[in-house]
Amino acid sequence: MKRWMWMALLAALSVLVIAGCDDEEGGTGTPQATAAATQTAQATAAATQTSGVTATPTPVVRGPKDIILATTTSTQDTGLLDTLVPIFEDESDYNVKVIAVGSGQALAMGERGDADVLLAHAPSSEVALVDKGVVINRQLVMHNDFIIVGPEGDPAGVQGMTAADALGAIYYTGATFVSRGDDSGTHKAELALWKKAGLDPAGQGWYEESGQGMGATLTIANQTNAYTLADRGTYLAQKENLELVVLVEGDPALFNIYHVMQVDPEKFDLVNGPGGAAFVEFMVSDATQAIIKDFGVNKYGQPLFIPDAGKDESQLTPQ
Amino acid sequence: MTEAKLSLRDVRVRRGRSELVNVPHLDVLEGEVLVIIGPNGAGKSVLLETLALLQGPTAGHVLFEGQPVRGRQLGLRRRMAVVFQESAMLRRSLADNVAMGLRLRGVPRSVRRERVRRWMERFGIDHLAHRSALTVSGGEAQRANLARAFAVEPEVLLLDEPFSALDQPTRDDLLEDLSAALRETGVTTVFVTHDRTEALRLGDRLAVMMGGAIRQMGTAVEVFAAPVDEEVAAFVGVENIVAGRVRSLADGLATLDLGGATVESVASSPEVGLEVLVCLRPEDVVIEPGGRDSHRTSARNHLHGSIIRITPLGGQVRVVVDCGFPLVALITKQSLEDLGLKVGDQAVASFKASGVHLIPRGR
Amino acid sequence: MDLIWDGLGEAVRIMRSGDFNVWEIVVRSIFVSGTATAISLFIGILVGSLIAFNQFPGRNLAFSLVNTGMGLPPVVVGLFIAIMLWRSGPLGELGIIYTPTAMVIAQTVICAPIVTGFTAAALRNLHPRLRSQLYGLGASRLQMLRLVLWEAKLPLLAAVMAGFGGAISEVGASQMVGGNLAGDTRVMTTAIWLEVSRGEFAPAIALSVILLVLIFLVNLILTTVQQQERR
């Protein structure tokens, strides 16, 4: 009796080894994000209605099946990619690996050639990469805006101010402020705003750095009744769990602009050039832009993003 | 001329900086029981492991039936069996353990079962066949150990102090059973021990090993009665060991023929006609000048002879009297002076029947 | 406290309705960690028996290394393996970054020292004369190894359980080399981390409960087997 038990255990372990060897990259082409399934259905329907279906142009040259998309946690947290990526994978038959990290790390991955395409919202850093020749085919995709949220009681009294003024008020009242502190797009935007206000919060007792993504940072701010700078998308996605309210919005300085760009395949042997190009094409295509336009309306009552493909940056309007 | 089953030539075993064994020449003859006796740390176990092909010598050769052995040849190892002091049983039934050697050789189950049953019965443990080997006593485990080795029907049996960890009564029992089994099977045996009784009981030949080398080799009588040097003498003990035979038995006393002389000893069990080794401590022997008719002691044994050697040993004196066989007595220097004895004088050596120790030698 | 009760309630609902694809994540976790443990067992037996049974210069060093390996911070392991497997790294051409294979590698590196250390200790604790005795009864090297391993099967089982526990509980390495890709490389621990970072506590708690139950079941097996053997 006992002997059979041991044999069974050994057999189970062997099965695992064999099975584990099989479980290779990208089991199926479509990730099963059933939470987004309904949105996908709606989005596809909307796309067919609005633009008479211009199919995403598939490049004539095909690359390897996998594409590594480096993007930011805030972008992923909005759920937009959960909607868009399956559509892309269906149409193009590529398999997209979405690696969501901080902006700094995403761009660093680009610099090392560890990703094929980047979707980021740190324009000044991205431009630096363009200048260095690390990325090509950089296209404007969409934008949303940042907001300053805080406790309902608003101890620093920042409601309705401009971003720079609000930060000044927070600085001088010493109200708790939680920063991303992770070199992300949001973090860089925040630092730019402090600079604009002519203030340096580093080292101040009320200035906290979470070092984590937007969702986690909002949670921390929520728990400590603090102010923080957030992108509207993540805030709306988490609104149910938060007691923080929107206090400052609409200031042009708060625009959060997204670009998609390819990592230059000429520069790195292993980069999937055709795949990257296909994804960029997809993101700026009319069909996709239409999906982006309506994204979030059902759930939050307002869209999370404003699609901008083909525009000039100076033409951007607030949400 | 009996063939050498196992031989060592120019064998040295070194571990780290120390040389543990240095044996230029050793033959284990077919069918004999060779006892390797020596104090602890003499290298006996290492020698046994080398003979058993469990480890290769640092230098020199091991020969099996005259052929040099390469490394730890599995084929040859399977013609031998080893019994260690610790019974090293596996966590299984006793019968499974006894069957281990047979299983390793791929012996079919029916043969296995029969042999295991037979040998467990032979060593009196067949009633424990289904018990877990870890729950039996030390003595029972060693019986199983022996059964395990015999069941394999080896051509060479090697035992490393198998009884040293057991209490005296158990040792005695096991010694008897082992002796009988060896007699029956006639298997070539190498037996390592530091116990003189075991050596005398079992050994056809004895090898005294000290400091990694074999100091003396010969029959029990040769080694014990005539140790080759002081160190050996100190180890084997200065004893009188003489071969004899039981002539008759009466009233708890055995009368023995001993190299021409008659000796009585306290004994109850030896059969008449049994060959024995007679052991007598020199301290138990009293010397008196010869020619006297009245004796000062109440001892039953009085042997007449002439003094052939007198050796001083500190405050004592070793006196050897030839009374048909050389009898060694140990007396004080003072006593010798009082008696006024010297070499060549006639003397009477007296000792009690109770001081005579018998070791059966029924081979 | 409300959070936990709400979370538990949500958790039960999610588990029952299958809404969240929890089971796919659980199965993958078991496969990845199980494979890592199986490979570690192989390595553990090989290396463990080598260092337990042989005297060689540097044996103590070997033991120290194994013990150090047991204490390796998983996130450090993950970082180093990620660096190797990134396209920019020496093994980039293999293209296994962000795959379950990479996770198996990382978890094996974490798990193998644990299993090796336990195995070496278990083998060392066997009767010191056992191996000589088995050789003396005519065992070949292979036979001896088989018998000895079977004899030590209880502590070996403990080694496997400890290794599996270590592998399935770690999050840092799996995140870094796996990328936590939905439907591809998402396992329980990385999924928990993701849900927490999104503020979605209910799924996080659901997964935590399942993970705890799984670890408990695995230990239950060990304890049961141990008790059976004792009798």
Residue B345 CA, chain-centre distance (Å), reads 36
Cβ distance of C133 and B49 shorter than 8 Å: no
Cα of B209 to nearest chain C Cα, Å:
22
Rounded to an integer, the average pLDDT of C31-57 is: 91
- One digit per residue, pLDDT tens: chain A, 319 residues? 456 667 777 777 676 666 555 444 333 333 333 333 334 434 444 444 444 444 445 455 676 889 999 998 878 878 889 899 999 999 998 999 999 988 888 999 999 999 999 999 888 899 999 999 999 999 999 988 899 999 999 999 999 899 999 999 999 999 999 998 888 888 888 998 999 899 999 888 899 999 888 888 999 999 889 999 998 878 887 888 889 999 998 887 888 889 999 999 999 988 999 999 999 999 999 999 999 999 988 887 888 888 988 887 666 665 5
Q: Does the global pTM surpass 0.80?
A: no
Asked if the model's pLDDT at residue B362 lies above 50, the reply is: yes
Rounded to an integer, the average pLDDT of B327-351 is: 86
Domain boundary among A234, A254, A274: A254
Domain boundary among A222, A237, A254: A254
Chain C CB contacts of B104 under 8 Å are 134, 137-140, 143
Would you state the pLDDT for residue A53? 42
Question: pLDDT tens, B130-162?
Answer: 989 889 998 999 999 999 999 999 999 999 999
Q: CA C101, CA A281: separation in Å to the nearest integer?
A: 31
When the pLDDT of each residue in chain C is averaged and rounded to a whole number, the result is 88
Chain B CB contacts of C135 under 8 Å are 54, 72, 77
Chain C CB contacts of A2 under 8 Å are 225, 228-229
User: Residues A30, A32, A34, A35: what is their CA dihedral angle, to the nearest 10 degrees?
Assistant: -100
Q: Rg of chain B's alpha carbons, rounded to an integer?
A: 23
Q: Which residue of chain C is at minimal alpha-carbon distance from B158?
A: C136
Rounded to an integer, the average pLDDT of C178-199 is: 88
Cα of C86 to nearest chain A Cα, Å:
6
Chain A CB contacts of C32 under 8 Å are 20, 23
Question: What fold is seen in the domain B241-360?
Answer: OB fold (Dihydrolipoamide Acetyltransferase, E2P) (2.40.50)
Domain identity same for A136 and A118: yes
Which of C104, C153, C176, C184 to probe the A interface (max A CBs under 10 A)?
Answer: C184
Which of A16, A71, A112 to probe the C interface (max C CBs under 10 A)?
Answer: A16
The second-level CATH assignment, the architecture, of B4-238 is 3-Layer(aba) Sandwich (3.40)
Rounded to an integer, the average pLDDT of B79-94 is: 91
Would you state the pLDDT for residue C20? 57
Would you state the pLDDT for residue A16? 67
The closest of A204, A186, A183 to A145, measured between CA atoms, is: A186
Residue A107: give the domain boundaries.
Answer: 34-144+256-312
Confidence of residue B63 (pLDDT cuts 50, 70, 90): very high
Q: CA B190, CA B177: separation in Å to the nearest integer?
A: 16
Do the domain assignments include residue A318? Answer: no
Q: Rg of chain C's alpha carbons, rounded to an integer?
A: 20
Cα of C98 to nearest chain A Cα, Å:
8
CA distances from A26 to A65, A182, A205, C84, C183 (A): 9, 29, 46, 20, 8
Q: CA B60, CA C16: separation in Å to the nearest integer?
A: 75
CB A25 within 8 A of CB C99: yes
Number of neighbouring beta carbons within 10 Å of residue B281: 17
Token pair for A34: 């059933």
Chain B CB contacts of C134 under 8 Å are 100, 104
Cβ distance of C104 and A20 shorter than 8 Å: yes
Residue whose entry in the numeric block shows the structure tokens 């497997």: C85
CATH number at residue A97: 3.40.190.10
The closest of B68, B45, B65, B40 to B55, measured between CA atoms, is: B45
The residues, any chain, with a CB within 8 Å of residue A33's CB and separated by 6 or more, are A82, A86, C182, C183
Q: What chains are in contact with B, requiring at least 3 Cβ pairs below 8 Å?
A: C
**B-side interface with C, Cβ within 8 Å?**
49, 52, 54, 72, 74, 77-78, 80-84, 86, 88, 90-91, 100-101, 104-105, 148-149, 152, 158
Q: CA C154, CA C169: separation in Å to the nearest integer?
A: 23
Nearest CB neighbour to C127, from listed B74, B88, B105: B88
Cβ distance of B152 and C137 shorter than 8 Å: yes
Question: What are all long-range contacts of C145-148, with beta carbons under 8 Å and residues at least 24 apart?
Answer: C145/C49, C147/B90, C148/C49, C148/C123
Residue C99: give the domain boundaries.
Answer: 2-230
Token pair for B258: 């001993």
Which of C126, C127, C129, C133 to probe the B interface (max B CBs under 10 A)?
Answer: C133
CB B143 within 8 A of CB B125: yes
HEC assignment per residue over chain C:
CHHHHHHHHHHHHHHHHCCCCHHHHHHHHHHHHHHHHHHHHHHHHHHHHHHHHCCCCCHHHHHHHHHHHHCCCHHHHHHHHHHHHCCCCCCHHHCCCCCHHHHHHHHHHHHHHHHHHHHHHHHHCCCCCHHHHHHHCCCCHHHHHHHHHHHCHHHHHHHHHHHHHHHHHCCHHHHHHHCCCCCCCCCHHHHHHHHHHCCCHHHHHHHHHHHHHHHHHHHHHHHHHHHHHHC
Q: Is A309 exposed, middle or buried (0-12, 13-18, 19+ CB in 10 A)?
A: middle
Cβ distance of C183 and A241 shorter than 8 Å: no
CATH number at residue C184: 1.10.3720.10
Chain C CB contacts of B77 under 8 Å are 135-136, 138
Which residues are paired to A293 by β-bridges?
Answer: none
Cβ distance of B77 and C138 shorter than 8 Å: yes
The number of distinct structural domains making up chain C is 1
Token pair for B107: 């012996």
Chain A CB contacts of C196 under 8 Å are 216
Q: CA B41, CA B54: separation in Å to the nearest integer?
A: 19
Number of neighbouring beta carbons within 10 Å of residue B36: 30
- What DSSP element (H or E) covers B361? none
Token pair for B356: 């005579």
CB B90 within 8 A of CB C146: no
Asked if the model's pLDDT at residue C204 lies above 90, the reply is: no
Q: CA B77, CA B56: separation in Å to the nearest integer?
A: 12
CB A105 within 8 A of CB A182: no
Indicate the range of B185-194, C111-120, C198-207 predicted with least confidence.
Answer: C198-207
How many contacts (CB atoms, under 8 Å) link B and C?
54
Token pair for A232: 């509207």
Which residues are paired to B253 by β-bridges?
Answer: B250, B266
Rounded to an integer, the average pLDDT of B162-178 is: 90
Report the sign of the C-alpha dihedral through residues B214, B215, B219, B224, in that order.
negative
Would you state the pLDDT for residue B335? 85
Cβ distance of C101 and A218 shorter than 8 Å: no
The number of distinct structural domains making up chain A is 2
For chain B, domain boundaries: 4-238, 241-360
Q: CA B227, CA B238: separation in Å to the nearest integer?
A: 9
Chain C CB contacts of B78 under 8 Å are 138
Do the domain assignments include residue A3? Answer: no
Cα of C215 to nearest chain B Cα, Å:
29
Question: pLDDT tens, B303-324?
Answer: 888 888 888 877 788 888 888 8
Cα of A81 to nearest chain C Cα, Å:
11
Which of A22, A81, A114, A222 to probe the C interface (max C CBs under 10 A)?
Answer: A114
Domain identity same for A120 and A222: no
Q: What chains are in contact with C, requiring at least 3 Cβ pairs below 8 Å?
A: A, B
CB A150 within 8 A of CB A229: no
Domain identity same for A140 and A162: no
Nearest CB neighbour to A19, from listed C31, C39, C183: C31
Q: Which residue of chain A is at minimal alpha-carbon distance from C91?
A: A270
Phi–psi pair at A140, nearest 5 degrees: -75, 135
Domain identity same for A44 and A188: no
Q: CA B173, CA B169: separation in Å to the nearest integer?
A: 6
Q: What size, in residues, is chain B?
A: 363
Q: Which residue of chain A is at minimal alpha-carbon distance from C150?
A: A6
Domain boundary among A233, A254, A275: A254
- Do the two chains A and C touch, given a threshold of 8 Å on CB pairs and at least 3 pairs? yes
Cα of A46 to nearest chain C Cα, Å:
25
Residues 127-166 on C with a CB inside 8 Å of B are 127, 129-130, 132-140, 143, 147, 151
How many contacts (CB atoms, under 8 Å) link A and C?
120
The closest of A170, A162, A232, A160 to A201, measured between CA atoms, is: A170
HEC assignment per residue over B160-194:
ECCCCCCCHHHHHHHHHHHHHHHHHHCCEEEEEEC
Do the domain assignments include residue A211? Answer: yes
Do the domain assignments include residue A14? Answer: no
Token pair for B193: 């021990």
